[in-house]
Amino acid sequence: MALQLGDIVPDFEAATTQGTINFHDWIGEGWAILFSHPKDFTPVCTTELGEVARLRGDFATRNTKVIGLSVDSVDNHVEWEKDIAETQGQVVNFPMIGDPDATIANLFGMIHPNASTTATVRSVFVIDHQRRLRLTLTYPASTGRNFKEILRVLDSLQLTDKYMVSTPVNWKDGDDVVISPALTDEEATAKFPKGYAKLKPYLRVTPQPNK
């Protein structure tokens, strides 16, 4: 069965461009993002890895590590990193997993046979500090991902874990949020001292509580 939200993600040991890791140990006390790309030395993947490297500091401020994977060898990754640095103006500063036998790709369901029987699709797995899967995204090989959107979702996940709120459509960090319907009006008043607008009994909007 495919991984589902809330599942503990599989653990594995793998060679990476920054040494051998045990995945659960590597995650440590924070969050992690595992993302796959179809193949080394391909155009869209080259732009994506340059962007992830550029945003690594933004992920780090959210206590989140990033790690890439494709069904190519670590040696291939190392050679490809030279091209990424040259064309994207950014050194790859995070580990990339070599998975030439597709063991990890199959563990996480990254190979979709109707798209390709050998290449991994553009999958994203957001994993929390308890090793639980919190988000999955899957893009076709022809479409590059928007990693700033992934940062936005990460902000939402971490915010809504801490407060009894949800984030509405097109929300971004700093915008108003929606109070959980599980709270009574009295509880909401006590919990959100900045106040809230009651648009409907089930739709109460309040300033982001940690801002």
| Residue ranges covered by each domain of the chain | 13-145, 163-206
Residue range 13-145 in CATH 3.30.70.2190: no
- Given a cut of 50, the residues of the chain with pLDDT beneath it are none
Please tell me the distance from the alpha carbon of residue 58 to that of residue 179, in angstroms, as a whole number.
27
CATH code of the domain occupying 163-206: 3.30.1020.10
Q: Which residues participate in catalysis according to the annotation? A: 45
pLDDT value, residue 155 = 98
Q: What is the model's pLDDT at position 116?
A: 62
Query: What is the reported pLDDT for 3?
Result: 87
Helix axes 43-54, 74-88, angle to 10 degrees: 80
- 191 token code pair: 């919990």
